[in-house]
Amino acid sequence: MDRPLAPPSPWRRYGPYAAGAVVLLALAVWLLSGPGGRIYRVPIDRLTISTVTRGPFEDYAAVRANVAPLITDFLTTEQSGTVSQVLVEDGAEVKAGEPLIVLSSPQLQLNVANREADTARQISELENTELELEQTRFQYQKDVLNIQYQMQKLKGELARDKRLAAANAIPLVTFDQDKEKYAYERKLRDATIASHKNEKAIRERQLTQLHATLKELHASLLAARASLDDLTIRAPMDGQLSALNAQVGEAKAQGAVLGQIDSRDRFKLTAQVDEFYLGRVALGQFALFRLDGHDYRAKVAKIYPQVTNGTFKIDMTFLGKAPHGIHAGQAIDIKLELGGAQIANMLPNGPFYQDTGGNWVFVVTPGGGSAVRRNVRLGARNPDFVEVLSGLKPGDRVITSSYQAYSNMDRVEFESATNSNGGS
Dump pLDDT digits (tens) for 71-87.
Answer: 999 999 988 899 999 99
Which domains are present in the chain?
62-69+264-339 (2.40.30.170), 72-105+231-261 (2.40.50.100), 107-229 (1.20.58)
Q: Give the residue from 385, 289, 285, 271 showing the smallest Cα distance to 334.
A: 289
Longest dimension (CA), the chain: 203
Residues of the chain with pLDDT > 70: what percent? 90
Q: Rounded to an integer, what distance in angstroms lies between the CA atom of residue 373 and that of residue 415?
A: 18
Q: How many CB atoms lie within 10 A of CB 100?
A: 22
pLDDT computed for residue 12 by the predictor: 55
pLDDT digits (tens, 9 = 90+) for 125-161: 777 877 777 787 777 778 878 878 888 887 887 888 7
Nearest Cα to 140, choosing from 93, 99, 199, 91?
A: 199
Q: Compute CA distances 148 → 141, 190, 191, 192, 201, whole Å.
A: 10, 11, 13, 11, 23
Phi then psi for residue 209, to 5 deg, are: -65, -40
Cβ(203)–Cβ(134) below 8 Å = no
The whole-number pLDDT of residue 295 equals 92
Per-residue pLDDT for 423 more than 50?
Answer: no
pLDDT for 186: 84
Pairing assessment for the beta strands 93-94 and 239-242 based on DSSP bridges = antiparallel
DSSP of 100-116: EEEEE-HHHHHHHHHHH
Name the CA dihedral angle for 214, 216, 218, 224, rounded to a multiple of 10 degrees.
-140
User: Where residue 34 falls among pLDDT bands split at 50, 70, 90?
Assistant: very low
Distance CA(50)–CA(329), nearest Å, equals 38
In the prediction, which pLDDT does 148 show?
81
pTM over 0.75: no
Dist. CA 240–CA 264, nearest whole Å: 7
d(CA 265, CA 26): 77
For residues 421 and 97, the model is more confident at 97
Of 202, 198, 196, 211, whose CA–CA distance to 137 is shortest?
196
Per-residue pLDDT tens for 85-130?
Answer: 999 999 899 999 999 999 988 888 888 788 778 878 877 777 787 7
Q: Identify whether the C-beta of residue 337 lies closer than 8 Å to the C-beta of residue 59.
A: yes
Q: What percent of the chain has pLDDT over 90?
A: 48
pLDDT tier, 13 (very low <50, low <70, confident <90, very high otherwise):
low
Q: How far apart are CA 136 and CA 231, in angstroms?
A: 48
**Whole-angstrom distance, CA of residue 183 vs CA of residue 128:** 37
C-alpha pair distances (Å), 416 with each of 46, 156, 419? 10, 149, 9
DSSP-based helix, strand, coil % in the chain, nearest 5: 35, 35, 30
Residue 201 confidence class, pLDDT cut points 50, 70, 90: confident
Beta bridge partners of 294: 291
Question: What are the tens digits of pLDDT across the range 356-374?
Answer: 999 999 999 999 999 999 9
pLDDT over 80 (residue 303)? yes
Q: Which residue has the higher pLDDT, 321 or 355?
A: 355
Based on its alpha-carbon atoms, the radius of gyration of the chain, rounded to whole angstroms, reads: 51
Structural contact between residues 177 and 125, judged by C-beta atoms closer than 8 angstroms: no
In whole angstroms, what is the distance from residue 380 CA to residue 345 CA? 11
What is the C-alpha to C-alpha distance for residues 5 and 13, in angstroms, rounded to an integer? 15
Give the pLDDT confidence of 203-218 residue by residue, as tens digits. 778 778 877 877 877 7
* Helix, strand or coil, per DSSP, at residue 255: coil
Tally of CB atoms within 10 A around 255: 10
Residue type, 77: T
The crossing angle, in degrees rounded to 10, of helices 172-229 and 106-166 is 170
| Res. 351: pLDDT tops 80 | yes
Report the 10 Å Cβ neighbour count for 40.
Answer: 20
Question: How much is the mean pLDDT over the chain?
Answer: 84
Q: Which residues contact 62 (CB under 8 A, 6 or more apart)?
A: 333, 334, 335, 336, 382, 383
